[in-house]
Amino acid sequence: MYIQEKVNPILEALVTAVLLERPEDPSHFMLKWLCEQTKSIDGPGPEQGQAKLAVDDIVTVRAEILRLKERKSELLDLRGKTDNASVKTDVKTDADDKTDADNKSEGEFSSSEEEDDAPDMPLPPPPHSRGPRQSVSAEAYGCWNVKAEFKAPVFEKTDEQKARIEKCIAPSFMFNSLQKEDMNTVLMAFKERRTDAGESIITAGDDGECMFLIEEGKVDCFKNIDGVDKLVKTCISGDVFGELALLYNCPRAATVKTTEASILWELDRNTFNNIVKDAAAKKRDTYTDFLKKVPLLENVEPYELMTIADALKMDIVEGQGVEIIKQGDQGDKFFIVMEGVCVAKKAFVEGQEPQTVMTHKVGDYFGELALIHNEKRAATVCTSSATTKVLYVDRKTFKRVMGPMEDILRREAKRYEAAPGGKDSVI
């Protein structure tokens, strides 16, 4: 109850703000946003109105706590009359004592009373209305959230249609973690929807039952800001929209309308949750656990680690001696060895037999400096094991998620100086 009424509204508003702004440094943006939302109770000037709301909220919450305590006392008295006298003493816990003490401090609250096993506890009143609903619904766990057997819907498509859909969703972190079989299931579950210009596809505040992929056309996203519907984003062919309501199980954050006749592909909530969402979560957990063991990332914050994990893609290479990058090519990817061994070879003179200059084992990375300095590859990296798994990100994603670490990467470049080819071995 505390999560639903207190925490989720803040998280939903914060996530919406972050996704609308897409800041280079999300952590700093979120900290600044939270500070701006936190108003002093005694704040002077234009903040007094918001301060008064804060005071009213505190008074309301305290009154509700007092009412629940009184109700608890009544129930305990009733229980004492029908049971032995020791029951009342037994149910008085240390947590209750701590709650009583904490509530004497200004502005501090405790929800420990909610944890007491009191029979017939009345339901709390609905939360204070602040206008349109802005909460992220918390899903029930345990016996209330046992997944039923799921079977995805099937809408027949041509191979050409499936290829177009797959090409559109492939860059998305939500879909690039799907195995081949799951990807085919998702492709068949997409339902075609043709729309006219000016048609409303999503309305802010509605429950999210599906997400959309744009094959042809254009849509505009509007959000009500200070009572005015403002255009916050335009989505074009290849873009996905409506996925946030499914990812976070929250109401629609914006209204979406077509600006021209469009061809959309619609994916239902159940397929998304059972296949796409689960696969993305498993991928994030697997990659995050692995990245924690990479020396380069050992001091990275958990949030940043998850951001990197979401951006990574995997390439499985079978056989030894297979080239991953080639000397002289333009550098466009950064790699981390997840399984197997790779060797870096360099030809110091054109036509000369390449020499091994470095070995990359699990947790090692390569290809970073060619992206930082926008240089061509100075060496060739080949597989040296029967099966090799490498994680990689492209140039654009590297700059976005690894940008804050460029100084560390530059400093760590000294490892190349110890290689047989010295600095010229940078790849």
Closest CA to 314 of 381, 393, 401, 368: 393
Strand 210-216, strand 240-241: pairing: antiparallel
Closest CA to 111 of 2, 28, 218, 10: 2
pLDDT on residue 117:
43
All residues at 6 or more sequence positions from 139 whose CB lies less than 8 Å from its CB, including other chains:
145, 249
Are 210 and 239 within 8 A, CB to CB?
Answer: no
Q: Return per-residue pLDDT of the chain as tens, 427 residues.
A: 788 777 887 888 888 888 878 888 888 888 888 887 775 434 444 444 444 555 566 667 677 777 887 888 788 777 776 655 444 444 444 444 544 544 444 444 334 444 444 444 444 444 444 444 444 444 444 444 555 578 889 999 999 999 989 888 877 767 877 878 888 999 999 999 999 999 999 999 998 899 999 999 999 999 988 889 999 989 998 888 998 888 778 899 899 999 999 999 999 999 988 888 888 788 888 888 898 888 878 777 787 788 788 788 888 899 999 999 999 888 888 899 999 999 999 988 887 888 998 999 999 989 887 777 788 888 999 999 999 999 998 887 777 776 666 666 776 666 555 555 554 444 5
Euclidean distance between CA atoms 35 and 44, whole angstroms: 16
CATH superfamily of 292-425: Jelly Rolls (2.60.120.10)
**Residue 228 burial (C-beta neighbours within 10 Å; 0-12, 13-18, 19+):** exposed
Euclidean distance between CA atoms 39 and 34, whole angstroms: 10
Euclidean distance between CA atoms 254 and 53, whole angstroms: 26
Euclidean distance between CA atoms 284 and 265, whole angstroms: 26
Residue owning tokens 């509530």: 103
pLDDT on residue 10:
86
Identical fold for domains 159-275 and 292-425, yes or no, is yes
**Residue 265 burial (C-beta neighbours within 10 Å; 0-12, 13-18, 19+):** buried
Class of domain 159-275: mainly beta
pLDDT on residue 46:
45
Rg (CA), the chain: 28
All residues at 6 or more sequence positions from 410 whose CB lies less than 8 Å from its CB, including other chains:
369, 372
Are 402 and 334 within 8 A, CB to CB?
Answer: yes
pLDDT on residue 30:
87
Angle between helices 8-21 and 26-37 (to 10 degrees): 130
Reported for 357-361, long-range contacts at CB under 8 A and 24+ positions apart, including other chains, are 357/419, 357/420, 357/421, 357/425, 358/416, 358/419, 358/425, 359/384, 361/337
**Domain residue spans of the chain:** 2-138, 159-275, 292-425
